[in-house]
Amino acid sequence: MMGSVVRFVRLPMLLLVIWAVARFILGVAGVPYAPRGNAVFSVLGMTVISCLYYGALSKRVGGFDWKGTLLIGMTIGFFGQVLIFSATLISYLGDLKTYYVHWDALNVPEGTVVPMARAMLARAQGLLFGTILTPVICVFIGRALGSLAPSPTHTS
């Protein structure tokens, strides 16, 4: 079943890669994090939207049961968190000022310089909680709204 899930979510995985790289580039290019830079290319935002849509499409288009829908959400969420973890690690190793190492992105007081070990611990926690909480809730909301999704044989 996992192979079917990964094939089904290839598009959101590609979009997450594009969003993560674009977010990384914005920081390296010196675009200010606030007030607008942070809102552009949000990996979490793309994860939520992807989980809602792919949860809605999971039954009618993908033919998945509830367990498959759960795996869809967890796969999208885990992939997004792996990208965030990796971008944070690359930022620290390369001494790059990206959005991934900004104090606000790491949920610390303004102006705090976060050591690599602390930041990576926070990102590791995200691998667990970011895979379970938000994506699973969103994918199940999408699944509940799945009756609004078109059927695979829908014609205009």
pLDDT confidence bin for 138, thresholds 50/70/90: very high
Average pLDDT on 1-28 reads 96
Average pLDDT on 138-147 reads 94
**CA–CA distance from 137 to each of 20, 40, 53, 63, 72 (Å)?**
22, 23, 12, 20, 12
Domain boundaries, given as residue ranges, for the chain: 2-146
Query: How far is the C-alpha of 80 from the C-alpha of 17, rounded, in Å?
Result: 8
Give the angle 68-15-22 at the CA atoms, nearest 5°.
145
pLDDT confidence bin for 14, thresholds 50/70/90: very high
Give yes or no for residue 3 having a pLDDT over 60. Answer: yes
pLDDT confidence bin for 1, thresholds 50/70/90: confident
Q: Which contiguous run of DSSP H or E holds residue 21?
A: helix 10-28
Query: How far is the C-alpha of 50 from the C-alpha of 13, rounded, in Å?
Result: 9
